[in-house]
Structure 1
Amino acid sequence: MYDYGQESIVLRRDVNVVHIPEGTPGVLPKGHVVNLYQSLGGNFTVTTEWGYMVRIAGADADALGKEPPSLSGLVSGTDPESVEKNVWEVLKTIYDPEIPVNIVDLGLVYQCRVTPRDDGRNDVSIVMTLTAPGCGMGPVLQYDAEAAVKQLPGVGNVEVEVVFDPPWSRDRMSEAAKLQLGMI
């Protein structure tokens, strides 16, 4: 669900934030009023009293009086096929904080490779891009992808590489994303 500023919330405690689009960290104090812009993929994009847009991690949902996110829809199993399916599912929970579409449907994920190891775990290599090369949120999205995949059963090492060749274009978006953004 995304709300576009319809819900004002008083922060219940100091909370770490990431400024959008710069990607720089900061802290908002307890008692600060924010407006919920979107709540997707377990993170929250809010606007501050000063008009700044920031992202609050799902782990800090309690500062907003919200529940932390939970992940469903994963398949059981740690074989490479199950792991790959789960990787794609978890990547669909990662959203650009300014656009209400996940990184898979935006067409930002170019490749996912799962390589089995001798110890029964699987290494995962992901190649992705950004909507714009200078996007300050790039390292944040890269970290989100890596952290989410690392939590999956059967996953060993995770590498997320951000590339700019080929460059992203709207043609890479899924039909569902285009429809959601009113581009069809």
Structure 2
Amino acid sequence: MSKRAMENVEESFKKQTNKRNKHWSLGLVESMKDPDAIYKETKNIVVIKDKYPKAKIHYLVLPYEEISSIYKLNKTHLNLLNEFGSMFNLIKEEHDSELQAGFHAVPSMQRLHMHVISTDMISPSLKTKIHWNSFTTSFFIPYEDLMRKLNENGFIQKISNETHKLLMSSPLKCNQCSFEPKNMPQLKQHLLTHIK
């Protein structure tokens, strides 16, 4: 193989490797480095604005330590997670909206992250039933519940594929009243009636 051909092969390999390393599921790691995305940070954690917010207020709290998901947590991480809770309290003090904090049972993005999200759920990025159910069913594990489970068991139990499918296909239901819309457009219209 000529030197030129070898250089072309190496260049092609580098491009493929870079593409693989920049898979969409790794996007949070990139956002952690973006000064425009960062809302707050400490020595151990960073808070970034969600690129596709599902409510008026939507942040992600991430550790600088490389932890891929809630399923890699153990009791040695309790201090780190206490800092997540302190940050949540700080964010609550800075906003007038009702906020909740929690984790998805099956995260789509690599890197442990806690959602801090307002309960209004009004956003152009909230488009699908899966988006809705990922924040309004038990698929969304509240911060306090995750802390309790980690304290008691020392780990977080994975949900089954069947449970995951069941939660994602749950009928739509307003998270603020008993209204059960037929579809997402009807739900989104209804959510506007809860704005004060």
Instruction: Please indicate, yes or no, whether the TM-score normalized by the shorter chain is above 0.5.
Output: no
- Which is helix-richer, 1 or 2? 2
- Which is strand-richer, 1 or 2? 1
**TM-score, length-scaled by structure 1:** 0.30
**TM-score, length-scaled by structure 2:** 0.29
* Greater Rg over alpha carbons, structure: 2
